[in-house]
Amino acid sequence: MADSDCVVVMGSNMAENHPVAFRWPMKAKTEHGAKIIHVDPRFTRTSAVADIYAPVRAGSDIAFLGGVINYVINSEKWNKDPFFKSFVVNYTNAATIINEDFKDAEDLDGVFSGLAPAKGGVPEWPFNGAINQYDGATWQYAREKSGAAAAKPELKPGEGFAPLVASLVRPPVLKDETLKNPRCVFQIVKRHFARYTPETVEKATGCPKETFLKVAETILANSGADRTTSFAYAVAWTQHTYGVQIIGACALLQLLLGNIGRPGAGVMALRGHASIQGSTDVPTLYHSIQGYLNAPSALRKHDTLQDYIATETIPTGYWANMPKFAVSYLKSMYGEAATKENQFGWDWHPKILGDHSHMAMFVAMNAGKVKGMFCVGQNPATSLNAKLDRAALRKLEWLVVKDNWLTETANFWKNAPEVKNGEVKTADIKTEVFYLPATQVAELEGTFTNTQRLLQFHHKAAEAPGDCRSDTLFYYDLGKRLKKLYANSTAPRDEGFKNLVWDYEHEDESERKKGEPSALKILKEINGFFTDDPARHCAGFGELKDDGSTTCASWIYSGVYPAAGKLLADRRTPDPPGKPGAQLNWGWAWPANRRVMYNRASSDPDGKPWSERKKWVWWDAAAKKWVGYDVPDYIGTKPPNDKPKPGAAGMDALPGTAPFIMRPDGQGWLYVPGGLVDGPLPTHYEPVESPVNNLLYKQQTSPVYKHWKDPANELAKVGDPKFPYVITTYRLTEHYLAGAMSRWLPWLTELQPELFVEISPELAQEKGIKNLDWCKISSPRTVIRAKALVTRRMQPFKIDGKVIHQVGMPWHWGYEGLSKGDVVNELTSLIADPNVSMHEAKAFVCNVEKA
Amino acid sequence: MNTFPSSTYFSAPPDWGWLIVFYFFFGGLAGGCYFIAALIDLFGRPEDRPLARLGYYIAFPCVLLSGVLLTLDLNRPLRFWHMLIESNTFQPMFKLWSPMSVGSWALLIFGIFSLVSFLGALAEDGRIQSPAWRKVRPPGMLNGVIVVLGGLVGFYVAGYTGVLLAVTNRPIWSDTPLLGMLFVVSAASISAALMILLAHRSKWTMPGIGALHRLDAWVVVLEFLVLIAVMISLGPVFRAWVNAWGVLLFLGVIVLGMVIPSALYWRRQWLGDRNVTTAAALVLVGGFILRLVIVFSAQGV
Amino acid sequence: MAEPMGFYTDTTVCIGCKACEVACKEWNQLPSTNGGVNTLSGDSYDNTRRLDGIHWRHVKFIEQFTEDRKDGHWLLMSDVCKHCVQAPCLEVCPTGAIVRTEFDSVVIQSDACNGCRDCISACPFGVIEVNPASGTAQKCTLCYDRLQGGMEPACSQACPTQSIQFGTIRELHGRAQKRVAQLHEAGEKRAYLYGADEKTLGGLNSFYLLVDKPEVYGLPPDPKMPTRNLASASWFSALGAVVVGLMGIINFRNRGAGAQDHEERP
Ligand SMILES: Nc1nc2c(c(=O)[nH]1)N[C@H]1C(S)=C(S)[C@@H](COP(=O)(O)OP(=O)(O)OC[C@H]3O[C@@H](n4cnc5c(=O)[nH]c(N)nc54)[C@H](O)[C@@H]3O)O[C@H]1N2
Ligand SMILES: Nc1nc2c(c(=O)[nH]1)N[C@H]1C(S)=C(S)[C@@H](COP(=O)(O)OP(=O)(O)OC[C@H]3O[C@@H](n4cnc5c(=O)[nH]c(N)nc54)[C@H](O)[C@@H]3O)O[C@H]1N2
Ligand code: SF4
Ligand code: SF4
Ligand code: SF4
Ligand code: SF4
Ligand code: SF4
Ligand SMILES: [Mo]
């Protein structure tokens, strides 16, 4: 971002929540006068240092971005400047032609072809919250007619899965590089966004037309061969029932502008929790086993490993290597026991039954489907629809809370509002609660993976006090005990436990005595090594095999620990000042220490840098390889003029001009034929709870959002007069999440001592509320109290001529700690985005009254 | 954003409270009484000597009390000596340009003078049998020197407090150079008033008393003029007194402590016997309120 | 003496994160308002309100919005002791507790201070207050202990956006002037430096880049030395003394009147 000429912070309050990362936009601003733009319902700390602040009503981002897309496509600059044409035609799927039976939201007034009521899922797991679902068959690329795909070959022992993968390759797609064909992606996109005019943007978002146009102009002016614009977003884009589509809209825009894979460009997902990036790479995610491989599922054809590979492998592009990653992963799980004969222990591996995300699990818990819970590094008593969450906790037989403080969750049976007001009696709560004190990060060694996929190793700085123990120790010990418990079991389901590789004994005597496992041994397993010579670490995922000769717990991390005593995540050598560089010797970034992903796009189709100023990675014709400031995110020796081999699998299927090697066609997707369950193109919908009608389509909300129906999870009707205001929830720099990490600390509580609700003077006057008055804030779920903070940083929006008030609340408070306050999540509901089951805490409705 | 009448509005109040108000009052009395006593010693008639002694009797206890009040006002009272001796080097601590530094020394020196004159007075009254101390009373060269110096230091003690306030960055205090003058004159008026009261209590009838009346009457008028000068010199900062403090200043100081007493001094017959004593009492009250208003009003802003 | 050191604070890149405020408290182990059990001030995001004995750094939040929101600014500024080259506090301190260090910073020696609070009323910026924990006047020390150890101050090191920059005053002046020029070019004509020139108390070793009048940031437009009044005030007092003296002499000399006075009494 320090290289950006324009930084658009939208869907995030970067300065507030990523203050340290925000040094880079500020560097760009002070060092080469980069423009900073903030698009947010509230004027925030980020807006304070932005060159342009654009107010938008919470939940209207797609309308805004769609407006920018429409502006760009029809702008003179975009149509004249050859850079854009060249980037879009070569590096995106703009030219690709789509099935004729595809129907766009244009044709069906807000929905796409293939919509049908949801099928329930497996009877054992009725907790998916799905209402409708799409069948994406009609969304596909049009392909050359040719004989049906080759029949699946029988795999002969000895050879890997390559033939199987090859058999999955499909006929080539139809294209029109002139972009004239009405069914080519570009024309579809152009038509789709035609209705997102500046006037419509103003009506739907409440952002004044002039401001919107200023933003669009600035973005366009700072995009091209020698200027780049980057976007930064976080949970104000994700926490919507169409969050993934908002991000998709941004990706679409950035691809149109050639702002992907280049220095100072991109779509920056500002990750949240420290190392939450790591926790999705080596996942705590239920639907992914590692490195973004889908988890074995009872809902798909995953009966055998071969079925799994046949169903999940993308045969063209780099993902063709998926079998190697999957097999190496199984080897890391079951070691010696995993053999070709037993499909590397495939049958031992657990399969998911459906949606096991946070909200689904708590609904199941509330239905008595969950016996016990390990709550390690989470505070669900303050989570979405908190009251319902706590009701679920009461249904547990046992709850283990491992935390640094006695959180709201640890004390839910004692101090929760419903207990305090007598609704629930402690005596009636049967849940047995265990509290285990946890260590702090400085009290153990390990790695952090941060926003830019950078792994940094941290060493132990202090001994943990008293009984505090690390989480690794806890899980390591738990695993040992369970293995002992199942040692003599004959039940097939326990085979997994019996064969699980579980040996991380610490090298250091005293640590071993304490039971602390070795972080390095765990990292070695993640990095991967050769089964015939365990001392030999894998130098990178290129070395992984699908024949069981390698083991690797997370392929994308392969290479971080290429040899014993050579821990690349421990490096701390910055580049010399002044000269352009990617800081390649500071820590280690996955994949393969590449700092800018898809950086093949930083040079033109012939492999020459687009411009001197934005030089990053280019083709060295003499040396016949890709070179540059960064590690090329490409096959190092694949020349720009390389032509795809017909019918080939893997990288051979892609031309030398295809930067997006993880896509089957090697191209950036303006139009998304697969992978998303809610449509191939971003479409403006209203939040599920909204005071206004969708001004762009008849379809009010996402047709496929998730709703877990429950009396305690009622939703407000559109324009419900009882809840006339749009409310959003967010963070303050001074506090951290549910507050356990900040509300116990006097130096922080004195800075933000009490929960408040931010309202505009206009609304305050309407309601007779004065600054600091106590207010009641209500949603269909509950009522909470907070002090009013009346400020002009909040403003009413004019939506389609009607004044809509926007209020906001930080959500850091709870009933424990030095600074206490009501739990804002008592107000929120259990509804979600269908792709990722993310809640919609960023835009719903409420009422505010003087208490 | 409203504009500020003076740059002094951005400083912080030092939280000088009642202790300081009383210190200003008693310090004023101490200095004033000694000064008047000295004048009587030097220019008065022999019959007036009891009056002079009265002055010394008042001065010394007041200085003592002042010292105590000042020390108690420190957040670290046991470190009062740091004002006189540099605590890390044990060198004498003296800053000519810091009124508080000079003032501390002045208080010490004046303390000694007033003690000497106090003992002298006792001896002359025969309350202590000490021919030696008897000798420090005039006439006599040495004695003359003592009362002159003592009188000057005394008046410094009475007045430096005003200078000290001026040498800050607080509104009002540092927005006029006249507070010192005001305090000096006021010191004279309240001291004369107190001496008048006490003299009348002991039914004295020496001529000096008449002189005291007149002196006080004149000084009160002078004080009034200086106060007006102060208000004018404040310029825009005068705003700071457009509030309860201003009202108190007007009623308590100007009306009660100046106008009425002057009237009483010039129109003797009104209250007959009580006339002068009432006037004197009111002057004392006014003098106290004056200090109170000046100390507190400047910290309100 | 080492080269004068201090701060250049560019308020246009301050994000009000208060890292400086907390870093200061942590390094200097300062107590919190009422043990951390504070109440919402209602004044924007500022809940510590001012510099005092337990807040040696303080971040100000100034909201400036027109009613139609067409023009809106949220001015953020991290305030601290200015380490004045001619320091009013140092000048008046009667105990010599306030000293100037080899870095040209102004430091209060807590062991020497007796809490007379003269410095509090002398500081034109309202920086100093008594720290209840020590009973002495306290303020920013420019991290004297860290500087002696060759480290930079805790606050500037914590500042993520380099709004607070620490260095030699000479170098900082250069940097600041460049930034002002850059801002003027970019159309931010209001940008200027506060306290970088000798005019303000001989120059402030902690100076600021501002985009509005000093008053708006709670800074005095023209801070002055308290001693500006010393001579005049002293002379006037002396004059007062003389006049009163003369009145006294006249009265006590003027016996006639005095005697008559007596005879008049019935
Ligand atoms: N100090 C601090 N830092 C943190 C955290 C913390 O709790 N405290 N949490 C960390 C975590 S886990 C995360 S996920 C990140 C989150 O980082 P952010 O996403 O930046 O955090 P939020 O404050 O939730 O939301 C940011 C902004 O979104 C705005 N907003 C609300 N609704 C909408 C909308 O519909 N559209 C747009 N464009 N804007 C909207 C809000 O007004 C708010 O200013 O922060 C991380 N960093
Ligand atoms: N309304 C609303 N709700 C939201 C959001 C929102 O924007 N609005 N944001 C959502 C987002 S993005 C997130 S990430 C979630 C976060 O929600 P939670 O994760 O439930 O809340 P945290 O406070 O982060 O809980 C983390 C806990 O881990 C503890 N902890 C810290 N370090 C360690 C450690 O090393 N070991 C162990 N065992 N414990 C440790 C902390 O003390 C804390 O109690 O909230 C979500 N909820
Ligand atoms: S809290 Fe940690 S992760 Fe977040 S910005 Fe500060 S330093 Fe970075
Ligand atoms: S700012 Fe105030 S405290 Fe700091 S040196 Fe100047 S006068 Fe002293
Ligand atoms: S309070 Fe302490 S530092 Fe301030 S003037 Fe008095 S003695 Fe000096
Ligand atoms: S320099 Fe040191 S003492 Fe001064 S504000 Fe910064 S951290 Fe605090
Ligand atoms: S740390 Fe820097 S950015 Fe944050 S408030 Fe302080 S000065 Fe501003
Ligand atoms: Mo998060």
pLDDT in tens, A514-561: 999 999 999 999 999 999 999 999 999 999 999 999 999 999 999 999
Query: How far is it, in rounded angstroms, from Cα A609 to Cα C191?
Result: 38
C53 to chain A, closest Cα gap in Å: 15
Contact A677, A835 (CB under 8 A): yes
pLDDT in tens, A366-401: 999 999 999 999 999 999 999 999 999 999 999 999
Per-residue confidence (pLDDT) for residue C261, from 0 to 100? 43
Q: Is the pLDDT of residue A222 over 50?
A: yes
ipTM of the complex: 0.94
pLDDT in tens, B10-55: 999 999 999 999 999 999 999 999 999 999 998 888 888 899 999 9
Query: How far is it, in rounded angstroms, from Cα A847 to Cα A763?
Result: 11
pTM: 0.95
Cα A201 from chain centre: 26
Residue indicated by tokens 């190092």: A636
Q: Residue A111 contacts by C-beta under 8 Å, 6 or more apart in sequence?
A: A105, A679, A699, A703
- What's the one-letter identity of residue A743? R
Give the E-state strand segments of chain B in sequence order: none
- Ligand 3 pocket by Cβ (under 6 Å): A 18-20, 274
End-to-end CA distance of chain C: 79
What mean pLDDT is predicted for residues B276-288?
95
C23 CA closest ligand 7 atom index: 1
Query: How far is it, in rounded angstroms, from Cα B42 to Cα C91?
Result: 39
Q: What single DSSP character describes residue B10?
A: G
Q: Is the CB of A443 under 6 A from ligand 2?
A: no
Q: Is the pLDDT of residue B289 over 60?
A: yes
> Which has more pLDDT, B206 or C36?
C36
Q: What single DSSP character describes residue A717?
A: P
Largest pairwise CA distance in chain B: 71
Any idea which of A50-54, A155-159, C91-95, C251-255 has the lowest mean pLDDT?
A: A155-159
Peptide bond into A659 cis (omega under 30): no
Per-residue confidence (pLDDT) for residue C1, from 0 to 100? 61
What are the residues facing A434 on neighbouring strands? A400
pLDDT in tens, A794-845: 999 999 999 999 999 999 999 999 999 999 999 999 999 999 999 999 999 9
What mean pLDDT is predicted for residues A240-249?
98
DSSP symbols for A325-390: HHHHHHHHHHGGG--TTTGGGGGGS--B-S--SHHHHHHHHHTT---EEEEES--GGGSSSHHHHH
Peptide bond into A673 cis (omega under 30): no
- Helix or strand holding residue A776 (H, E): strand A774-778
Q: Output the six-digit token pair for A725.
A: 């205001």
Contact C54, C135 (CB under 8 A): no
Closest by CA position to A429, among listed A388, A398, A461: A398
Best mutation site among A12, A214, A741, A751 for testing chain C: the one with the most C CBs within 10 Å?
A751
What mean pLDDT is predicted for residues A655-678?
97
- What's the one-letter identity of residue A818? L
Contact criterion met (CB < 8 Å) for C63 and A795: no
pLDDT in tens, B192-203: 999 999 999 888
What mean pLDDT is predicted for residues A619-644?
97
Q: Do chains A and B touch (3 or more CB pairs under 8 A)?
A: no
C130 CA closest ligand 5 atom index: 1
Residue indicated by tokens 């920086």: C127
Quick one: pLDDT band at residue C256, thresholds 50, 70, 90?
very low
Q: How many CB atoms are located within 10 Å of the residue A643 CB?
A: 11
- What's the one-letter identity of residue A329? Y
Q: Do chains C and A touch (3 or more CB pairs under 8 A)?
A: yes
Q: Is the pLDDT of residue A147 over 70?
A: no
Contact A811, A777 (CB under 8 A): no
Q: Which residues surround ligand 8, an ion (CB under 5 A)?
A: A 272
Q: Residue A484 contacts by C-beta under 8 Å, 6 or more apart in sequence?
A: none
Contact A818, A743 (CB under 8 A): yes
Q: How many CB atoms are located within 10 Å of the residue B143 CB?
A: 18
pLDDT in tens, A202-214: 999 999 999 999 9
Query: How far is it, in rounded angstroms, from Cα A822 to Cα A576?
Result: 50
Q: Is the pLDDT of residue C262 over 50?
A: no
Nearest ligand by distance to the CA of C209: 7
Q: Output the six-digit token pair for A342.
A: 């037993």
Return phi, psi of residue C194, to 5°.
Answer: -110, 120
Query: How far is it, in rounded angstroms, from Cα C25 to Cα A247?
Result: 40
Quote the ligand 8 centre to A243 CA distance (angstroms): 14
- What's the one-letter identity of residue C158? A
Contact criterion met (CB < 8 Å) for C37 and A753: yes
pLDDT in tens, A734-750: 999 999 999 999 999 99
What mean pLDDT is predicted for residues B154-180?
96
- What's the one-letter identity of residue A243? G
What mean pLDDT is predicted for residues C28-50?
97
Mean pLDDT for chain A?
96
Q: Is B224 left (phi over 0), alpha (psi -120 to 50) or beta?
A: alpha
Contact A237, A687 (CB under 8 A): no
Q: Is the pLDDT of residue C265 over 50?
A: no
Closest by CA position to A660, among listed A610, A593, A601, A596: A601
What mean pLDDT is predicted for residues C92-99?
97
Q: Is the dihedral of CA A749, A755, A760, A766 positive or negative?
A: negative
Q: Distances in Å between the alpha carbon of A402 and those of A362, A817, C186?
A: 18, 17, 52
Per-residue confidence (pLDDT) for residue C259, from 0 to 100? 41
Q: What is the CA radius of gyration of chain B?
A: 20
Q: Name the residue in chain C with its Cα closest to that of A745.
A: C36
Quote the ligand 2 centre to A738 CA distance (angstroms): 6
Q: Is the pLDDT of residue A756 over 50?
A: yes
Quick one: pLDDT band at residue C264, thresholds 50, 70, 90?
very low
- What's the one-letter identity of residue B178? L
Q: Output the six-digit token pair for B77.
A: 């009272």
pLDDT in tens, B88-132: 999 999 999 999 999 999 999 999 999 999 999 999 888 888 888
What are the residues facing C241 on neighbouring strands? none
Per-residue confidence (pLDDT) for residue A152, from 0 to 100? 62
pLDDT in tens, A519-528: 999 999 999 9
Chain B residues in contact with C55 by the CB 8 A cut-off are none
Query: How far is it, in rounded angstroms, from Cα B28 to Cα B30?
Result: 5
Q: Is the pLDDT of residue A620 over 70?
A: yes
Nearest ligand by distance to the CA of C155: 6
Quote the ligand 1 centre to A234 CA distance (angstroms): 6
Query: How far is it, in rounded angstroms, from Cα A218 to Cα A75?
Result: 13
Return phi, psi of residue A814, to 5°.
Answer: -165, -175
Q: Is the CB of C92 under 6 A from ligand 4?
A: no
Q: Is the pLDDT of residue C263 over 60?
A: no
Chain C residues in contact with A19 by the CB 8 A cut-off are 15, 17, 19, 160-161
pLDDT in tens, A682-725: 999 999 999 999 999 999 999 999 999 999 999 999 999 999 99
Mean pLDDT for chain C?
94
Q: Is C5 helix (H, G, I), strand (E, B) or coil?
A: strand
In this complex, the residue of C32, C45, C67 whose CB is nearest that of residue A750 is C32
What mean pLDDT is predicted for residues A222-235?
98
Quick one: pLDDT band at residue A579, thresholds 50, 70, 90?
confident
Q: Name the residue in chain A with its Cα closest to that of C48.
A: A751
Q: Which partners does chain C have (≥3 C-beta pairs < 8 Å)?
A: A, B
Per-residue confidence (pLDDT) for residue A392, from 0 to 100? 98
Q: How many CB atoms are located within 10 Å of the residue C111 CB?
A: 13
Q: Is the pLDDT of residue C255 over 50?
A: no
pLDDT in tens, A24-45: 999 999 999 999 999 999 999 9
Q: Are strands A725-730 and A806-810 parallel, antiparallel or unpaired?
A: parallel
Per-residue confidence (pLDDT) for residue B2, from 0 to 100? 54
Contact criterion met (CB < 8 Å) for A47 and C37: no
